């Protein structure tokens, strides 16, 4: 319950800061990392716990209301939004829900199961990108991979590619590039051909756990610091550090 209260307070602050009119509804999607457990989307906040997807109405930001709990399964870890879809990452797979018809009642669309491992996910309109990493917490051994699913038919995600990595964690998309936290580095892949992704650049010695990209700004979060970089999607080699701040 403390977690929900904290998240609700944050949502209220965001809604107030984004609006000059206290009665104006929250309409801007939240910026979330791939390991986020909650998102803000069109007057609602969606929160995952270990087994459920919880929906809170922020139509009246001063009086948030929990309107729905959806039983997803177990070992739920992360939540990501793309258009009208919610992508839920668990240790056992990826689950996709649709919120276009009724944002208060997410509708199950499809799932893609895999071996037990920790599982962040991001997506664009054609593909979903999942990283698996194994450690004692995730109860998996030697299962460090990038999985790429074709979601053109979102009701039937199709695994089209997988690639072995060192220990991938958070990830983020920017145009034709996929940024992945891989142990001590940030590895950037060219995904213009999702069936054959290639390494375009590596930002070395940044042991990030999650990433957020906002326009031309990359934020990399380690356990103790946040690193900011300027990026140029038209020239991915042109990445410049801006700042490093303690957490």
Please write the tens of the pLDDT for every residue from 116-141.
666 789 999 999 999 988 765 555 55
- Looking at residue 24, its pLDDT comes to 37
**Element of type H or E holding 244:** strand 240-246
pLDDT < 70: residue spans in the chain: 1-31, 115-118, 135-142
For the chain, what is the mean pLDDT? 86
Q: What is the pLDDT of residues 197-212, one digit of tens each?
A: 999 999 999 999 999 9
Examine residue 181 and state whether it is found in any structural domain, yes or no. Answer: no
The residue among 36, 22, 153 whose CA lies nearest residue 96 is: 153
- Looking at residue 116, its pLDDT comes to 61
- Looking at residue 94, its pLDDT comes to 93
CATH number of the structural domain spanning residue 154: 2.130.10.10
Examine residue 94 and state whether it is found in any structural domain, yes or no. Answer: yes
Examine residue 200 and state whether it is found in any structural domain, yes or no. Answer: no
Q: Which domain holds residue 114?
A: 38-165
- Looking at residue 247, its pLDDT comes to 84
Could you write out the three-class secondary structure of 34-86? CCCCEEEECCEEEEECCCEEEEEECCCCCCCEEEEEEECCCCEEEEEEECCEE
- Looking at residue 3, its pLDDT comes to 43
Q: E-strand spans in 83-230? A: 85-90, 93-98, 107-113, 121-123, 127-132, 145-150, 158-164, 168-174, 177-182, 185-190, 198-203, 210-214, 217-221, 225-230
- Looking at residue 142, its pLDDT comes to 65
In the chain, how many domains are there? 1
Distance CA 14, CA 102 (A): 23
Examine residue 236 and state whether it is found in any structural domain, yes or no. Answer: no
- Looking at residue 17, its pLDDT comes to 41
DSSP states of 5-20: HHHHHHHHHHHHHT-S
Examine residue 53 and state whether it is found in any structural domain, yes or no. Answer: yes
Examine residue 46 and state whether it is found in any structural domain, yes or no. Answer: yes
Q: What is the pTM of this model?
A: 0.84
Examine residue 161 and state whether it is found in any structural domain, yes or no. Answer: yes
Examine residue 207 and state whether it is found in any structural domain, yes or no. Answer: no
Distance CA 137, CA 167 (A): 13
Three-state DSSP at 221 gives strand
Distance separating the N- and C-terminal Cα atoms of the chain: 24
Q: What is the pLDDT of residues 6-17, one digit of tens each?
A: 444 444 444 444
């Amino acid at each position: 319950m403390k977690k929900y209260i904290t998240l609700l307070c944050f949502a209220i602050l965001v809604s107030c800061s984004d609006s000059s009119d206290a009665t104006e509804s929250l309409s801007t999607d939240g910026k979330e990392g791939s390991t986020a457990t909650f998102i803000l989307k069109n007057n609602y906040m969606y929160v995952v716990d270990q087994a459920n997807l919880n929906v809170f109405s922020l139509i009246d930001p001063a009086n948030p209301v929990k309107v729905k709990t959806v039983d997803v399964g177990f070992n739920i870890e992360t939540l990501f939004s793309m258009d009208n879809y919610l992508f839920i990452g668990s240790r056992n797979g990826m689950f996709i829900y649709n919120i276009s018809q009724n944002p208060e009642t997410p509708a199950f669309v499809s799932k893609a199961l895999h071996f037990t491992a920790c599982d962040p996910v991001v997506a664009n309109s054609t593909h979903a990108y999942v990283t698996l990493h194994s450690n004692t917490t995730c109860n998996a051994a030697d299962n460090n991979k990038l999985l790429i699913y074709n979601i053109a038919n979102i009701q039937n995600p199709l695994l089209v590619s997988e690639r072995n990595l060192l220990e991938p964690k958070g990830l983020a998309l920017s145009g034709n590039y996929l940024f992945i936290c891989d142990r001590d580095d940030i590895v950037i892949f060219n995904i213009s051909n999702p069936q054959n992704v290639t390494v375009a650049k590596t930002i070395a010695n940044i042991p990030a756990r999650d990433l957020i990209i906002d326009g031309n700004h990359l934020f990399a979060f380690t356990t103790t610091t946040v690193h900011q970089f300027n990026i140029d999607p038209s020239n991915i080699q042109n990445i410049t550090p801006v700042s490093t701040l303690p957490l």
